[in-house]
Amino acid sequence: MIRRPFLFVSLLLAGGCVSLVPYERLIAEVPPERLLSIDGVRVYVEDRGVGEPVLLVHGFGGSSYSWRDVVQELATDFRVVAVDLAGFGLTERPRRKRDYSRFAQGERLIGVLDALGIERTHLVGHSYGGSVSVALAVRRPERFLSLTLVNSAAPDYPQLRRSRWSALRPLTQLFVRVRSLRRANVEEGLRRSAADDSIVTDELVDEYWRRLTVEGSPRAFLHAAAASTRSP
């Protein structure tokens, strides 16, 4: 008799693992000024426009690319800063679990503001980025002019929702690599999120997928989902 865990792993492996690109190759053509070293982590930052600053924080599995149209519109009147959180987009995938807590993600955003010479800013967070933003705004209110949440998660999400999966670390990482990071799955997620299917082009799917299939992403997804909301 085949046990269920063995069968589950066998089915996952049968689907084939997605190939992951080394981080150094991913950032090979990124302008050096867009990568800031914050607490030992290389953080990708887009900084456009002039005026009152606005900091944009993306959701789980997203990146600053998710804000591309918003950045273009806001940059006509504001200084817009869009950041890739640790583990996502063009930002490095650190190995330590504590680098993915809401506290660490938030303090890294403060580090970006300090590096750019921004004392106070409007803060906009989407989904998982909203949970990071709420926790940060409560802890460091003196740094923000306003807080805007877009379909935000609660500050303790996704820890509560995914805590049981996080206990099965090897299986969860395997699932991410075999299922979650597949191009077809990324496309499906984008189509579920879009009111108009016509905007989900091959180019759009490829841009999201390219920023996900990076060495360290399965570990980063697990740590970001399971990391404690408490400060160290």
Burial of residue 197 (CB within 10 Å: 0-12, 13-18, 19+) is: exposed
Q: How far apart are CA 19 and CA 188, in angstroms?
A: 19
The one catalytic residue in 63, 64, 127, 131 is 127
Residue 223 bears catalytic tag: no
Pairing of strands 41-48, 35-38: antiparallel
Residue type, 142: E
Q: Tokens representing 144? A: 């923000």
| Helix residue ranges per DSSP H, 116-168 | 128-139, 159-166
Residue 231 bears catalytic tag: no
The one catalytic residue in 58, 122, 126, 223 is 58
Measured between alpha carbons, how far is residue 228 from residues 64, 125, 196 in Å? Answer: 24, 19, 36
Q: Tokens representing 47? A: 């900084």
Q: How far apart are CA 131 and CA 152, in angstroms?
A: 6
DSSP 72-101: HHHTTTSEEEEEPPTTSTTS---S-GGGGS
Residue type, 166: S
Pairing of strands 53-57, 121-126: parallel
The residues annotated as belonging to the active site are: 58, 127
